[in-house]
Structure 1
């Protein structure tokens, strides 16, 4: 099947669990060795404090102090934890990359909207290959807004100078999908079984 695209459409992709895969067990194990905590479960402090970190409200030092239940964390410890955190979200989905390469090669308009802390987004923009597919990139930590707040979608629409119906949004998180739909964006709810090529072709 060949991915087809509309010349007037922006394709707006999420990063985590769409372009990247989920962290692997070995990644969580590395964080556990560094912290002494099991951080993978949804109830863990890693996730409990993540929204403020992704939104740029909490600094890396503040976030990791909250995760560890401490008043403060020294700079070397913060750097080590940030390195492990960036590494565990750096595993890429080859099928999504193939589709991005096809779309970019055909001249499609590609943008990215991700909930991601500032330093992680700066690291990926500097060191990773996947940002080259995108004309525009938007990160929650840099904007001070976080999905599913509709204001972040309004900001993106304004920056792209696009009508909602001309921006197709791909994300794994249902609340984010619902927020985009509330503004009139067509969406693809991405999951492990999603045939993204077929969804885009249709």
Structure 2
């Protein structure tokens, strides 16, 4: 196993900020049901969508409680991707700095296939030498197996990976595998969170 340091970043709420209320209203208007609440069908079925076990038609039909035609899901997928596209400029500055220093950067995101296809050629993906998406792996955080897959692919010991995520469950799971996992809290300076621990 290699001894090269890697920085592994989550996407939503680390590289991006939260969707705005206007974003949610636009998506709710298109879907015809309330979605913003943490207990809404949007979130109840999300991990299955992220894992690639639902198509867009299956996911949005479950979210709305009625059959949604494929012609409609393209709009819903687009609005969904748009609301997760408000970049955290402080994080982008950190990625730029790390990249300029020659650091090895990777991405690990729970992300459904339609969103992956929209983002794969986006300019921000150029920071990352490796990109891991749940829908392509049929695994989701916080499953232990997704972190084990990343480690095998990077061919490094767990302690050589600094992982940054906003979800405490994902951070705890990564720590259980041995990664140097840091909880990113919105509004906290990411640069400070990445300072090596003594």
Report deviation, 1:96: 0.2
Do the aligned partners of 2:184 and 2:193 also contact (CA within 8 Å) in 1?
no
Q: TM-score normalised to the size of structure 1?
A: 0.93
Q: What RMSD in Å do the two structures reach over aligned CA positions?
A: 1.1
User: Residue 64 of structure 1: which of 60, 81, 92 is its match?
Assistant: 60
Q: Unaligned regions of 5+ residues in structure 2, if any? A: none
Match of 1:164 among 158, 169, 182: 158
The runs of 4+ residues in structure 1 deviating greater than 2 Å are none
1:191 paired to 2:185:
yes
Alignment of 1:7-18 (within 5 A): 8-18=4-14
- Give the SS at the match of 2:85: coil
Which of residues 22, 35, 39 in structure 1 aligns to 2:35?
Answer: 39
Q: What does residue 174 of structure 1 align with?
A: 168
* 1:51 matches 2:50: no
Residue 29, structure 1, aligned to residue 25, structure 2: yes
Q: 2:90 aligns with which of 72, 92, 95?
A: 95
Aligned counterparts of 1:153 and 1:194: Cα–Cα separation in 2: 25
Count residues with an aligned counterpart.
194
Whole-angstrom CA distance in 1 between matches of 2:24 and 2:159: 39
Q: Secondary structure at the match of 2:139?
A: coil
Matched, 1:133 2:121: no
